[in-house]
Structure 1
Amino acid sequence: MSALSVAVVPVTAFAQNCTILMCNHSKQAAVIDPGGETDKIKQQLKQMGATATKILLTHAHIDHAGGTAELAKDLDLTIEGPHQGDLFWIQSLAQQSAMFGFPAVESFTPDRWLNDGDQVQVGELSFDVLHTPGHTPGHVVFYNAAAKLAFVGDVLFNGSIGRTDFPQGDHAQLISSIREKLFPLGDDIEFICGHGPNSTFGQERRSNPFVSDHRG
């Protein structure tokens, strides 16, 4: 039996890939990037027979973090991540929700800020934390070597990369995060991104027009 199960629950008008990550042995689960529509998330947890213990945040844009306070309160979850560089995004969640026409949301304070080299636990599973700034200054990625799986938020997409035109975005930093932090993990690593279908780092190295080895 595989050590983990993953279910992607698209939420919000931005079709953000909220991901439920469950340790199959303990049935404990983390909810990665609950952007909203928390009833859909709770329904998926129930369907999996999972007991959520924490929320993991890759970054604090509204479509990834908007449902965090509500879900944490409803299910008594701890909040881990992102890196403290995204504090200003968390503090501006109310303004973000108004700007993008989202339902009003509460701000929150993570129980644990994450740094490069940290680890997070989900049941009996450990995930390495990589600080990957560029899309936002505090963006992090969660990676499990044994499962050959990474949760990359909005750093990298199938055929594209994250936007850097938001406050404190940095295109050069984003390219560096992808090419120096993610690609060295291996071509066979599959990643689940914040929007759209999965891919592998190898596929993006070969064909992504923004970061491929053949670019330029």
Structure 2
Amino acid sequence: MSIQCTIVPVTPYQQNCSVIKCQASGRAAIVDPGGDVDRILEAVEKMDATVEKIILTHAHMDHCAAADVLRQQLGVPIEGPEKADSFWLEKLPEWCRMAGFPHADAFEPDRWLEEGDTVTVGEQTLKVIHCPGHTPGHVVFLYEPQKVAWVGDVLFQGSIGRTDFPMGNHDELVASIREKLFPLGDEITFIPGHGPTSTFGQERRSNPFVADPRYG
């Protein structure tokens, strides 16, 4: 058995929240719920899934502002991101206010994630890869059996994540992509935090920010 994924664009930022369902068990995880709780839960219902956890790639508001609301509403834990993003979560109300975003309370996840950890969704297992640069505690979730990854704001079709936020680091981001993601294989399809899906191979060949010079 495998996993089923529904992408739900949320917030004015059109952030790609995903609902990942283990088809064997019917249990599911919500990835990066930034807002629009009703729309996310509607997708869960359409998938006939039972949410067992929330997982976060990083702690920017458009990826996590609805996480604690859903945790309380559904009685499920939050896993991720890596602890270096804790300062983003502590100041979540402040970031939301400055951006004109709906209010969100500060919160802590039930489990911080680290490089080499795994996250279960029903009977399936996702690998956790720490990919700093966009934020210091950013993680990526890889599901090897279907060659799919949820990369948050590390990599996009034709672009990469911003590094002008507090604790962002451009060189670190490029290294995360080239040294941690691309070696996973050209055939990996990735779901970015915004915009359309792509593959690591396509980006390695044509992405102007991180393309392999051999393809130039």
- Decide which moves more: 204-213 or 95-104: 95-104
Identity %: 56
Aligned to 2:147: 148
5 Å matches for 1:43-58?
43-58=42-57
TM-score by length of 2: 0.98
Matching residue's letter, 1:4: I
Structure 1, unmatched stretches of 5+, are: none
TM-score by length of 1: 0.98
CA distance, structure 2, for counterparts of residue 183 and residue 127 of structure 1: 17
Aligned to 2:202: 203
Aligned to 1:74: 73
Aligned to 1:111: 110
Note if 1:41 corresponds to 2:44.
Answer: no
Aligned to 1:32: 31
Aligned to 1:134: 133
Matching residue's letter, 2:179: E
Offset at residue 145 of structure 1 (A): 1.2
CA distance, structure 1, for counterparts of residue 48 and residue 128 of structure 2: 26
SS of equivalent to 2:68:
helix
**Number of residues of Structure 1 aligned to a counterpart in Structure 2:** 215
Aligned to 1:160: 159
- Decide which moves more: 102-111 or 77-86: 102-111
Offset at residue 192 of structure 1 (A): 0.2
Matching residue's letter, 1:7: T
CA distance, structure 2, for counterparts of residue 41 and residue 57 of structure 1: 15
Aligned to 2:189: 190
Matching residue's letter, 2:201: G
CA distance, structure 2, for counterparts of residue 74 and residue 130 of structure 1: 29
CA distance, structure 1, for counterparts of residue 22 and residue 98 of structure 2: 37
CA distance, structure 2, for counterparts of residue 144 and residue 25 of structure 1: 15
Provide Cα deviations, 1:101-128, integer angstroms capped at 9, x if missing partner.
1111112111110000000000000010
Aligned to 1:4: 3
Aligned to 1:92: 91
Provide Cα deviations, 1:12-68, integer angstroms capped at 9, x if missing partner.
000000000000010100000000011110111001000001000000000000001
CA distance, structure 2, for counterparts of residue 190 and residue 107 of structure 1: 33
Matching residue's letter, 1:63: D
SS of equivalent to 1:129:
strand
Provide Cα deviations, 1:140-159, integer angstroms capped at 9, x if missing partner.
00001111000000000000
Aligned to 1:179: 178
Aligned to 1:22: 21
CA distance, structure 2, for counterparts of residue 32 and residue 211 of structure 1: 25
Offset at residue 96 of structure 1 (A): 1.1
Matching residue's letter, 1:76: G
Offset at residue 165 of structure 1 (A): 0.2
Matching residue's letter, 1:186: G
Runs (4+) off by over 3 Å: none
Structure 2, unmatched stretches of 5+, are: none
The alignment's C-alpha RMSD in Å is: 1.0
